Chains A and B, each alone.
Chain A
Amino acid sequence: MLKLENCVIRVGTFELGADLTVAAGRRVAVIGPSGGGKTTLLEAVAGFIPPQSGRIIWNGRDLGPLGPGERPVAMLFQEGNLFPHLSAAQNVGLGLAPRLKSARDPQVEKALARVGLDGLGGRKPSEMSGGQRARVALARVLVQRCDVLLLDEPFAALGPALRAEMLDMVMELASETDATVLMVSHDPKDAERIAQEVIVVAEGRAAQPVETGALFADPPEVLRRYLG
Chain B
Amino acid sequence: MAARAQPISPWPGVAAAALVAMVILGTLATVAMRAESSGRFAPGDFAAIRFTLVQAVLSAVLSVGLAVPVARALARRRFRGRTALVALLGAPFILPVIVAVLGLVTVFGRGGWLSGALGAVGLPPLSIYGLHGVVLAHVFFNLPLATRLVLQGWQEVPDERFRLAAQLRVEGWAMWRLIEWPMLMRVVPGALAVVFALCLTSFAVVLTLGGGPRATTIELAIYQAFRFDFDLGRAALLSGVQLVLTVAAATAALIAGSGAGFGAGQGRAVRRWDARGRMVRALDGAWIVLAALFLCVPLMAIVLAGAPGFVSMPAQVWDAALVSIGVAVASTCLVLALAVPMAAAVAQGRFGVVEVSGLLGLAASPLVIGTGLFILVRPVVDPFALALPVTALVNALMALPFALRILGPGARDVVAAHGRLALGLRVTGWRFLLLVLVPRMRAQIGFAAGLTAALSMGDLGVIALFADPETATLPLQVYRLMGAYRMDHAAAAALLLLVLSLAAFWSLDRGGRWHAEA
Judge if B33 is at the interface, Cβ distance under 8 Å: no
Q: Which residue of chain B has the shortest Cβ distance to A95 in the bound complex?
A: B425
Q: How far is the CA of A83 from the CA of B434 in the complex (A)?
A: 13
Please, which residues of chain B bring their CB within 8 A of the CB of A49? 2, 4-5
Judge if A226 is at the interface, Cβ distance under 8 Å: no
Please, which residues of chain B bring their CB within 8 A of the CB of A80? 417-418, 420-421
Q: How far is the CA of A7 from the CA of B105 in the complex (A)?
A: 74
The answer to whether residues A81 and B421 also contact, given A12-B1, A50-B5, A98-B431 and a CB cut-off of 8 A, is yes
Q: How far is the CA of A48 from the CA of B431 in the complex (A)?
A: 18
Judge if A175 is at the interface, Cβ distance under 8 Å: no
Q: How far is the CA of A172 from the CA of B517 in the complex (A)?
A: 33
Please, which residues of chain A bring their CB within 8 A of the CB of B516? 85
Interface string of A70-89 (1 = CB under 8 A from B): 10011101001111111000
Q: How far is the CA of A82 from the CA of B422 in the complex (A)?
A: 10
Q: How far is the CA of A181 from the CA of B436 in the complex (A)?
A: 28
The answer to whether residues A84 and B517 also contact, given A49-B5, A77-B420 and a CB cut-off of 8 A, is yes
The answer to whether residues A124 and B427 also contact, given A49-B4, A50-B5, A83-B421 and a CB cut-off of 8 A, is no
The answer to whether residues A70 and B517 also contact, given A50-B2, A50-B5, A77-B420 and a CB cut-off of 8 A, is no
A97 to chain B, nearest CB (A): 8
Judge if B34 is at the interface, Cβ distance under 8 Å: no
Q: CB within 8 A of A100: which of B420, B435, B517?
A: B435
The answer to whether B2 touches A98, judged by C-beta atoms less than 8 angstroms apart, is no
Judge if B9 is at the interface, Cβ distance under 8 Å: no
The answer to whether residues A85 and B440 also contact, given A68-B5, A95-B425, A98-B427 and a CB cut-off of 8 A, is yes
Judge if A69 is at the interface, Cβ distance under 8 Å: yes
The answer to whether residues A75 and B517 also contact, given A83-B436, A85-B439 and a CB cut-off of 8 A, is no
Q: Which residue of chain B has the shortest Cβ distance to A9 in the bound complex?
A: B2
How many of chain A's residues have a CB under 8 angstroms from any CB in B?
34
The answer to whether residues A75 and B424 also contact, given A47-B5, A50-B2 and a CB cut-off of 8 A, is yes
Q: Considering residues A10, A12, A43, A84, which has the most beta carbons from chain B within 10 angstroms of its beta carbon?
A: A84
Judge if B426 is at the interface, Cβ distance under 8 Å: yes
Q: CB within 8 A of B420: which of A10, A48, A99?
A: A48
A120 to chain B, nearest CB (A): 16
Please, which residues of chain B bring their CB within 8 A of the CB of A171? none
Within 8 A of B (CB), among A63-122: 67-70, 73-75, 77, 80-86, 94-95, 97-100
The answer to whether B1 touches A10, judged by C-beta atoms less than 8 angstroms apart, is yes
Within 8 A of B (CB), among A186-212: none
Q: How far is the CA of A100 from the CA of B436 in the complex (A)?
A: 11
The answer to whether B423 touches A94, judged by C-beta atoms less than 8 angstroms apart, is no
The answer to whether A69 touches B423, judged by C-beta atoms less than 8 angstroms apart, is yes
Total number of residue pairs linking A and B with CB closer than 8 Å:
77
The answer to whether residues A124 and B421 also contact, given A48-B5, A49-B4, A94-B427 and a CB cut-off of 8 A, is no
The answer to whether A69 touches B424, judged by C-beta atoms less than 8 angstroms apart, is yes
Q: How far is the CA of A85 from the CA of B4 in the complex (A)?
A: 25
Please, which residues of chain B bring their CB within 8 A of the CB of A43? 420
Q: Which residue of chain B has the shortest Cβ distance to A90 in the bound complex?
A: B435
Judge if B251 is at the interface, Cβ distance under 8 Å: no
Q: How far is the CA of A12 from the CA of B439 in the complex (A)?
A: 31
Q: How far is the CA of A69 from the CA of B426 in the complex (A)?
A: 5
Judge if A126 is at the interface, Cβ distance under 8 Å: yes
Q: Which residue of chain B has the shortest Cβ distance to A43 in the bound complex?
A: B420
Please, which residues of chain A bring their CB within 8 A of the CB of B424? 46, 68-69, 73-75
The answer to whether B417 touches A67, judged by C-beta atoms less than 8 angstroms apart, is no
Judge if A177 is at the interface, Cβ distance under 8 Å: no
Chief secondary structure at chain A's binding surface: loop
Q: How far is the CA of A80 from the CA of B419 in the complex (A)?
A: 10
A153 to chain B, nearest CB (A): 14
Please, which residues of chain B bring their CB within 8 A of the CB of A34? none
Q: How far is the CA of A85 from the CA of B13 in the complex (A)?
A: 24
How many of chain B's residues have a CB under 8 angstroms from any CB in A?
23
Judge if B428 is at the interface, Cβ distance under 8 Å: yes
Q: Which residue of chain B has the shortest Cβ distance to A53 in the bound complex?
A: B2
Q: CB within 8 A of B2: which of A10, A70, A82, A86?
A: A10
The answer to whether A69 touches B2, judged by C-beta atoms less than 8 angstroms apart, is no
Q: Which residue of chain A has the shortest Cβ distance to B434 in the bound complex?
A: A100
Q: How far is the CA of A211 from the CA of B420 in the complex (A)?
A: 31
Judge if B518 is at the interface, Cβ distance under 8 Å: yes
The answer to whether B423 touches A68, judged by C-beta atoms less than 8 angstroms apart, is yes
Q: How far is the CA of A75 from the CA of B518 in the complex (A)?
A: 24
Q: How far is the CA of A84 from the CA of B436 in the complex (A)?
A: 10
Q: Which residue of chain B has the shortest Cβ distance to A126 in the bound complex?
A: B517
A134 to chain B, nearest CB (A): 14
Within 8 A of B (CB), among A24-80: 43, 46-52, 67-70, 73-75, 77, 80
Q: Which residue of chain B has the shortest Cβ distance to A150 in the bound complex?
A: B424
Q: How far is the CA of A215 from the CA of B496 in the complex (A)?
A: 78
Q: How far is the CA of A39 from the CA of B105 in the complex (A)?
A: 65
Q: Which residue of chain A has the shortest Cβ distance to B431 in the bound complex?
A: A98
Please, which residues of chain B bring their CB within 8 A of the CB of A52? 1-2
The answer to whether residues A75 and B4 also contact, given A69-B428, A126-B517 and a CB cut-off of 8 A, is no
Q: How far is the CA of A75 from the CA of B4 in the complex (A)?
A: 16
Please, which residues of chain B bring their CB within 8 A of the CB of A86? 435
A88 to chain B, nearest CB (A): 13
Q: CB within 8 A of B425: which of A11, A69, A124, A126?
A: A69
B232 to chain A, nearest CB (A): 52
Taking Cβ atoms with an 8 Å cutoff, the residues of A that contact B are 10-12, 43, 46-52, 67-70, 73-75, 77, 80-86, 94-95, 97-100, 124, 126
7 contacts between A and B (CB under 8 A): A46-B424, A47-B5, A50-B2, A50-B3, A67-B5, A74-B424, A77-B420
Taking Cβ atoms with an 8 Å cutoff, the residues of B that contact A are 1-5, 417-418, 420-421, 423-428, 431, 435-436, 439-440, 516-518
Q: A69-B428, A84-B518, A86-B435 are in contact. List 10 more A-B contacts (CB 8 A).
A: A47-B5, A47-B423, A49-B4, A52-B1, A69-B424, A83-B418, A83-B436, A98-B425, A98-B431, A98-B435
The 9 A-B residue pairs with the shortest CB-CB distance in the complex, in nearest-first order? A69-B426, A68-B423, A50-B2, A98-B426, A98-B427, A85-B439, A94-B425, A68-B424, A80-B417
